[in-house]
Amino acid sequence: MKTEKNLIQSERFLFASDAKSFQRKMRRLGYSTKCDHRLGIAHPEHIVRIYLKEPKRGLIFVTKDNQEGVRMFYHISCKNKDKTPVRARRNGKTKTWKTRPNDFKIPVKYGLRDCFYITQDNCHEWTIN
């Protein structure tokens, strides 16, 4: 999917009431964002589309396609006390669904006891390099 000069990496559909805060959060993380509707005049319950372009840092973000065979994931903003990125280790097989082809869950472990999932909703915060 192409717009003017930029190659769009992904898109999200959100309510207009949530779109401004989502755009602010993505810009803080280094993403370029573009909305298909003017949020100032959109009704809060209207669905708007936000296009995301990955930051130009040379990072490879986690997606459903590129996560197979990867054992370690690195957070882009959270750091350990020694200033290294927070690491999470894969803890099982990726869960996918036939009825929801874009959804996935990667079970990961952090530290000694903390377990959680990397999903399509938080995968923009994790890299594989």
> Residue holding tokens 């959804």?
103
Whether the per-residue pLDDT at 29 is higher than 80: the answer is: no
Assigned domain for 64 exists: no
Contacts of 79 (CB under 8 A, 6+ apart): 85, 86
Assigned domain for 58 exists: no
Domain that holds residue 94: 72-127
C-alpha–C-alpha distance, residues 87 and 40, integer Å: 39
Whether the per-residue pLDDT at 20 is higher than 80: the answer is: no
Kindly state the average pLDDT of the residues 24-53.
66
Whether the per-residue pLDDT at 2 is higher than 70: the answer is: no
Q: Are 24 and 50 in contact (CB under 8 A)?
A: no
What's the pTM value of the predicted model, to 2 decimals? 0.57
The reply to whether 88 and 121 lie within a common domain is yes
Whether the per-residue pLDDT at 51 is higher than 50: the answer is: yes
For 63-110, the pLDDT digits (tens) are 888 888 899 999 988 889 998 889 999 999 999 999 998 899 999 999
Assigned domain for 62 exists: no
Q: Beta strand pairing status for 104-110 and 85-90?
A: antiparallel
Assigned domain for 107 exists: yes
For 106-126, the pLDDT digits (tens) are 999 998 999 999 999 898 889
Residue 18 carries which DSSP code? H
Kindly state the average pLDDT of the residues 32-43.
63
